[in-house]
Amino acid sequence: MHPVYRVFKPVAQWLQVFAGRLPGEYTVAKLDAFDCFRLQTSPWQVTGILLLTPMGCLVANVLIESIPLSDPATGFYGSLHFQARNFLVATTVMTTLITTKVSCVSHLTPRSWRFICGMSLTLAGVAIATNAVISIAVGIFPVPFTQFAPTGPMAVIGGLINQRFLETPENRVRLQRLDRWLAMDLAPILIYPIFTAVFMAVQSTQQLWLSLLLPVLKFLLRYLLWLVVRGEIDLVGAATCSVGHLYHILFTVMCLQNAKSWKTYAVVIAVNTIQMLLNCRGILQDSDEIRRTAEQLTESPGDDHEDAVTSALTIAQQENVAKLLHRKRFSRFFSLFPGYQHADYVSKHQKLLRRSSSVNLRHSSVPNVMTNSKVDGAVAPISKMSTPILPTKRLSWKISSDSFTTEILVASFAKRGEDTRQVCAREQEAYVRQVTSALHQTEIVLLRSYITIFALPFYGLYQALLFSLPNRRYFVTMATTTTFDAVAGMIFHMLVLCGLELLFLVVYVTLISHRLGFSGLHQLAFVLWSQRILIQGKFIMLPPS
């Protein structure tokens, strides 16, 4: 292998992960939950989920904007409304973060609303008090980077509360991983105001080049989030997409609002259109891969009338395939998320757990008791074992030739049959993982489209509401939108993007239905409902103000 190729290959692979589609797949537990959801949910319920999911974000932002802002020149002692507004924002953000963490870990005892509200109010009070001390001590108001100045004291107080009320030896590792994930959700907020300030200060030609950085910023944010969350197999898609793409929308509307040239608007349209076309290409590629994998199966994946979800679920619950899926580093059979790890699913497959435990005890040099390896409802992976097919002791030459030949033939046929079953199970495992990987990718595509369709009209409505306020001059986001025509033009540009995204959503749903065999709207509603705390929390904690 050429030295240049050795260097180029890992770089190319990293760029493919960074700028391409992030890897991931459904667990069989999530696949089973999705299959039950689409069978038990009516079209009216799906419609209600799609329409009502953003209501929490709308209510939170309207409530925040109902608190008027006063002239910053009045200083700290005249900033009661400003402090009340920041306190409400901090309380809302902390509530969503704590609720998300509690919903992701099973067997946490303090799950009452009193604990969540008490901790949220405490941390919000710490944030306001820290900014007040800084403002009085230094004589500056408002404090620069108000959202980040109290990060240190809040982290210390939050860590003490977690250690006192939440952490146990069994869930400490998982809670620490979730804390890193939720901290990463907040970190990108720093990028948005900096990018906005720079974009508003530069000339139109420089704005054009900055607008080309939008996909780079988006890819960087989602890649960093994916690195932290990738261990949460069933949540990584919604977690990275909700935060990364929502910030992409904020960057986009900021460019539309403050653009000084029509070329910048054209670049934004082009970047979004290219992304949509790549999404369509990805769906077609996944469907072709599933078809090719199904054709290579030694045994048929199921009834010809079954869709990919049903056939994959049927195959995945076969004993040999289930073992292979469960042996991965992160089990692809059971879920870490309590919302998918239902008691009936665990009891249904309790036989697999018991058998895995007994096999490990017989064949592993180090005992690995499954029941003692569970952490937060997750099942530890099964250690790899090799069951001997042929006798390990040397055959005695005293055995007659006929008997010896018979034993060799029996062992040969047994080994051949065992090899055939293993090959068949590997093929079926590949088919199941191909389907679950395609579901993961379509989930991200549908969530991106849904967030865009929701966020663009919402931000336009938000700007119209701010324009009607008498104190709009104190809002940074209204610095360049000072006339009715400017607001109307910005809303028109956002509606054009929204209409384009709505058109592509119809294309996505059509492709998923015809090429993959299930309803894209059902999948979108399933994710929005089953992960409603996580997704709505991301919407609420990212108000554009």
pLDDT digits (tens, 9 = 90+) for 395-430: 333 434 444 444 544 455 445 555 677 778 888 888
- Tell me whether residue 361 is in a domain: no
- Rounded to whole angstroms, the Cα distance separating 380 from 377 reads 10
What radius of gyration, in Å, describes the C-alpha atoms of the chain? 28
- Tell me whether residue 62 is in a domain: yes
- Rounded to whole angstroms, the Cα distance separating 309 from 300 reads 14
Please name the residue that has the structure tokens 């919402």: 458
Find residue 257's DSSP bridge partners.
none
Find residue 375's DSSP bridge partners.
378
3-state helix, strand, coil in the chain (%, to 5): 75, 0, 25
- Tell me whether residue 89 is in a domain: yes
Alpha helices in 259-307, H assignment, sequence order: 262-295
- Considering its fold, how many domains does the chain have in total? 1
- Tell me whether residue 271 is in a domain: yes
Does residue 378 sit in helix, strand or coil? strand
Torsion on CA atoms 372, 375, 381, 382, rounded to nearest 10: 10
C-alpha 53, offset from chain centre: 16
- Tell me whether residue 304 is in a domain: no
- Rounded to whole angstroms, the Cα distance separating 260 from 256 reads 9
7 or 337, higher pLDDT: 337
pLDDT in tens, 70-128: 766 777 787 788 888 888 888 888 888 888 888 887 655 545 778 888 889 999 999 89
Task: Please report which helix (H) or strand (E) contains residue 322, including its range.
Answer: helix 319-326
46 — pLDDT class (breaks 50, 70, 90): very high
pLDDT in tens, 450-489: 988 887 888 777 777 777 776 666 665 666 666 777 778 7
Mean pLDDT taken over the chain = 75
Residue-wise burial string across 409-448, b where 16 or more C-beta atoms lie within 10 A, e elsewhere? eeeeeeeeeeeeeeebbebbbbbbbbbbbbbbbbbbbbbb
**Most confident listed range (94-103, 245-254, 496-505):** 496-505
Task: Please report which helix (H) or strand (E) contains residue 365, including its range.
Answer: none
Per-position DSSP letters for 335-350, written without gaps between them: -SSTTT--HHHHHHTH
What are residue 375's phi and psi, to 5 degrees?
-130, 115
Ramachandran class of 379: left when φ > 0, alpha when ψ lies in -120 to 50, beta otherwise: beta
Q: Which of 302-306, 316-320, 424-428, 483-487 has the lowest mean pLDDT?
A: 302-306
Quick one: tokens of 77?
A: 């002692």
Find residue 378's DSSP bridge partners.
375
HSE toward the beta carbon, residue 104, CA cutoff 13 A = 27
CB 532 within 8 Å of CB 53: yes
- Rounded to whole angstroms, the Cα distance separating 58 from 65 reads 11
CA distances from 246 to 241, 425, 535 (A): 8, 40, 11
- Tell me whether residue 263 is in a domain: yes
- Tell me whether residue 313 is in a domain: no
CA nearest neighbour of 370 among 390, 387, 391, 346: 346
- The per-residue pLDDT for 387 is 34
- Tell me whether residue 347 is in a domain: no
Q: 457: cis peptide before it, omega within 30°?
A: no
231 or 372, higher pLDDT: 231
Residue-wise burial string across 474-511, b where 16 or more C-beta atoms lie within 10 A, e elsewhere? ebebbeebeeeeebeebbebbeebbebbeebbeebbeb
Please report, as a single letter, which amino acid is at residue 94: M
Query: pTM (2 decimals)?
Result: 0.78
Residues in the chain: 545
Please report, as a single letter, which amino acid is at residue 466: L
* Domain that residue 150 falls in: 21-291+432-540
